Chains A and B, each alone.
Chain A
Amino acid sequence: MTQSTPPGSPDRRYAVAPDDGDGRMSAPAALRNRDEIAAALAQIAPNSGRALEIAAGTGEHVIRFAASMPGLNWQPSDPADDRRASIKAWIAAEPASNIDAPIDLDACAPGWAAEHAPFDLVFFANLLHLIPVEQAETCLAEAAKATARGGILAIYGPFLRDGQTTSDGDAAFHARLSADMPGAGYKDRDWVLAQLIQAGLIPEPPRDMAANNLLLTARRAMS
């Protein structure tokens, strides 16, 4: 389906998610990667506390994450009305006591972290390559700021390594994104980690994930 893209939100043309009639959208990429991501997050996530998913999209991730990490109370968010509707529909279809109703949050806008209590886990997937550099900087700075002491920020997606893509397919996708929107395209792994360091987080070794993706994680020291 088509939709308008709210200011500051990623261009969703690259994540087609048709509504199957009951409000639940489905993104093939989310279905493919959610089990692997959930397993990786479960290894590093706090046992309890609050978790925020930024740009939660269809809601297929958070449903799985809530089941995999039952000690965390999950707060999905997305700036798009139809995505939040999809998240609600997924929650209705697969109820879980540890998922809150989705909130309208544009993670690429400055200032949102100050308006929300700190989270013990902040996560987003497949966002940075869809937005320009400047928005990515804001998103990373705010996400870091929203990470509580002792908490962890986790970022999943495709990244450049030493400024290079890692496959022909990634190179083609990166080129298409960059051509469609100045500043969009894959961000370099070390560039992302540098943003987190500047925000006072301590990076951990990146995890290799399927399809050349990475899970980048960084923690905020307890005290």
Chain B
Amino acid sequence: MRPLGLPASVAAGLLVAAPLHAQSDFERFEVVTEAMNALMNQAFIQVAPDLEGRMPAPEWDEPLRAAYRCMYDGFVDEVGEAPVGDMITAMENSLPDLTPQDMLGGENPVDNPEGLSDERALEIVSDCQVMEVFEQRMVESGAMEILTQQ
């Protein structure tokens, strides 16, 4: 699925540095989602070059961190830490083979944590306002204006 409300979701190895110290699962989650955000940005700029410099930064800001924290905690509350950690590992493993084009393909590179249904995952994403934060970042960066007026 493309659960997490993660952009086309889960993927992109290019920017993932090898961890130099032990990371928590949430820190790994941050690294992998930022890499995927970067890939997603590349994908959109390839299709709409006017977006160059206008896509939201791939790095988490505080609103995005809060939304993802809420989502991560929601997933852990539902199924426990191990399945969520496994999902993050799957995300990391998918990165090296992912291309920007893959981000626009609609396929789901990674499944939900084991035991978490699509329906419940979507509820958690919705409750945590992940999409609202994403929308706000697209508006603030100017990307939404470009996409709706090009």
What bracket does the count of chain A residues touching chain B fall in?
20 to 34
- Contact partner of B104 among A109, A188, A200, CB < 8 A? A200
B-side contacts of A197, CB under 8 Å: 7, 44, 134, 138, 147
Interface residues of B in 83-105 (CB under 8 A from A): 101, 103-105
Check if A111 is an interface residue, CB within 8 A of chain B: yes
Contact across chains for B122 and A200 when beta carbons are under 8 A apart: no
* CB closest residue in chain B, given A134: B126
Once the chains are docked, how many angstroms separate the CA of A138 from the CA of B132?
14
A-side contacts of B105, CB under 8 Å: 149, 200, 220
Check if B58 is an interface residue, CB within 8 A of chain A: no
Check if B149 is an interface residue, CB within 8 A of chain A: yes
What bracket does the count of chain B residues touching chain A fall in?
20 to 34
Contact across chains for A202 and B135 when beta carbons are under 8 A apart: no
- Contact partner of B8 among A137, A149, A198, CB < 8 A? A198
Question: Shortest beta-carbon distance, A178 to chain B, in Å?
Answer: 17
Once the chains are docked, how many angstroms separate the CA of A102 from the CA of B138?
37
Q: Given A202-B147, A205-B150, decide whether A194 and B135 contact each other with a Cβ distance below 8 A.
A: yes
Ordered by A's residue number, 8 sampled pairs between the chains whose C-beta atoms are within 8 Å are: A111-B118, A137-B122, A190-B138, A191-B131, A193-B147, A197-B44, A205-B150, A220-B104
Give chain B's interface residues, CB within 8 Å of chain A.
Answer: 2, 5-8, 40, 43-44, 47-48, 101, 103-106, 117-119, 122-123, 125-126, 131-132, 134-135, 138-139, 144, 147-150
